[in-house]
Amino acid sequence: MDFTVDIIKHDGKRSTEKFDRSKLHASITATCLSARTPEGQAKTIASSVCNEVEKWLRQHPEVTSRDIRAVSVKHLKRYHPEAAYLHEQHHLII
Amino acid sequence: MNVPSSLAIVAFAALIHASFQLSVSVLVILSSHTIGARHSQVKLLRLTTSFVIGAGVMTILLLSFVSLVVLSLLGAKISPLAWAIACGMLVGIAISIWMFYYRREKGTTLWIPRGMAEYLTERTKSTKLSAEAFGLGLSSVFGELLFIIAPLTVAALALVQLPSIWQLTGIAIYAFISLLSLLIVWVLISSGHKLSSIQKWRESNKYFLQFTAGSGLIILSVFVYTSQVLGNVVGGV
């Protein structure tokens, strides 16, 4: 990735951090696997969603982690609605 | 109070306990992380089983502890005043459940201290061993003490008046019934059911569950007040 984006952590306790594609990829892959998706398909979906998120980030140099989650969910819905639901719910279960 | 009436109170209190959702939420997150981390179905089964056993053990410990406290403070003969105070607590907690149990936002977030919720979420993410899952099961029941204290207290009041063998039976009945919702979700997850379907069902029925938990406490308080307070006072006159 040839650009840097500051992610403001939503809990406000930690300082900003740089956007890490591999972190988002791992998170979406794990969510797809949780939705009982085969591993290869999960990785392909995660790559597609990461591409879309990066495209969006090019226009938004400073975002919150919630923004990233919302945009990921929006794109993930197109590829795997169940995984998108789980990804969205992740912080809303307890 | 006779044995069937006492056990009926214990069973109904346990049913209300079963409608509380913190342990189920933690079980869903634990399963989601275990499957997402590419662990085997055997490991999933081992972790979730340990979690359910932990929740069961904490339920038994809490009920035994509350019973011991009741027995020490009030003795084996419970006065109508003690029952009346318990009824007041049931009504108070029922109203607070109707008003506050779920947060007014998406998902199934609960009105438990946020620090506790974050701790449980973080612990769930890093749970890899059966012993950790067992500890998580213990913590998840303890985390909801604010709400489960009402059914636990009434069950304890009913239990201490029973002969020893029936006390043990009552504790077993309470533990089994209070774990029913957790056991159902555990069976669904272990048999390969989709987590998204389980969470969707929980989310779409959360206000119904909230209403039934609160209503259950009100019904229990009316039953207990009628049979233990009015019954004794009018019978005494």
Structural contact between residues B17 and B62, judged by C-beta atoms closer than 8 angstroms: no
> Residue B197: is its pLDDT beyond 60?
yes
Q: Taking CB atoms and an 8 Å cutoff, what residues of chain B touch A90? A: 32
Provide the domain count of chain B: 1
What is chain B's mean pLDDT, rounded?
Answer: 95
pLDDT of residue B235: 65
Is A85 within 8 Å of B28 when comparing Cβ atoms?
Answer: no
In whole angstroms, give the CA distance from residue B191 to residue B5. 37
Is A93 within 8 Å of B35 when comparing Cβ atoms?
Answer: no
Provide the domain count of chain A: 1
> Residue B237: is its pLDDT beyond 60?
no
Give me the phi and psi of B197, to 5 degrees please.
-65, -40
In whole angstroms, give the CA distance from residue B193 to residue A73. 22
How far is the CA of A15 from the CAs of A19, A20, B121, in angstroms?
Answer: 13, 15, 21
In a domain, A30, yes or no: yes
Q: Name A21's Cβ contacts closer than 8 Å, sequence gap at least 6.
A: A1, A50, A54
In a domain, B86, yes or no: yes
Place of tokens 């009030």: B74
pLDDT category of residue A14 using cuts at 50, 70 and 90: low
In a domain, A66, yes or no: yes
In a domain, A1, yes or no: no
Query: Would you tell me how many other CB atoms lie within 10 Å of the CB of residue A56?
Result: 17
pTM greater than 0.90: yes
Q: Taking CB atoms and an 8 Å cutoff, what residues of chain A touch B108? A: 89, 92-94
In tens, the pLDDT along B76-104 reads 999 999 999 999 999 999 999 999 999 99
Higher pLDDT among residues B166 and B233, named by residue: B166
Structural contact between residues B138 and B22, judged by C-beta atoms closer than 8 angstroms: no
Q: Give the residue on B whose Cα is nearest the Cα of A32.
A: B36
Q: Looking at chain A from residue 8 to 47, which residues have their Cβ under 8 Å from any Cβ of chain B? A: 29-31, 33-36, 39
In a domain, B222, yes or no: yes
**Helix B195-204 with B180-190: angle, nearest 10 deg:** 150
Q: Which of the 8 DSSP states describes residue B113? A: -
In a domain, B234, yes or no: no
In tens, the pLDDT along B111-154 reads 988 888 888 999 999 999 999 999 999 999 999 999 999 999 99
In tens, the pLDDT along A16-42 reads 788 899 999 999 999 999 999 999 999
Residue A20 is part of which domain span? 6-92
In DSSP terms, which residues pair with A17 in a beta bridge?
Answer: A7
The residue among B147, B151, B127, B110 whose CA lies nearest residue B13 is B151
Kind of pairing between the strands at A17-18 and A62-64: unpaired
Structural contact between residues B25 and A93, judged by C-beta atoms closer than 8 angstroms: yes
Supply B51's token pair: 């979690």
In a domain, B150, yes or no: yes
Is B199 within 8 Å of A89 when comparing Cβ atoms?
Answer: yes
pLDDT of residue A8: 77
Establish if A92 touches chain B: CB-CB under 8 angstroms. Answer: yes
In a domain, B233, yes or no: no
> Residue B40: is its pLDDT beyond 60?
yes
In a domain, B131, yes or no: yes
Q: Taking CB atoms and an 8 Å cutoff, what residues of chain B touch A34? A: 31-33, 35-36, 195
ipTM of the complex: 0.87
Place of tokens 């009402």: B150
pLDDT category of residue A11 using cuts at 50, 70 and 90: low
Q: Taking CB atoms and an 8 Å cutoff, what residues of chain A touch B200? A: 85
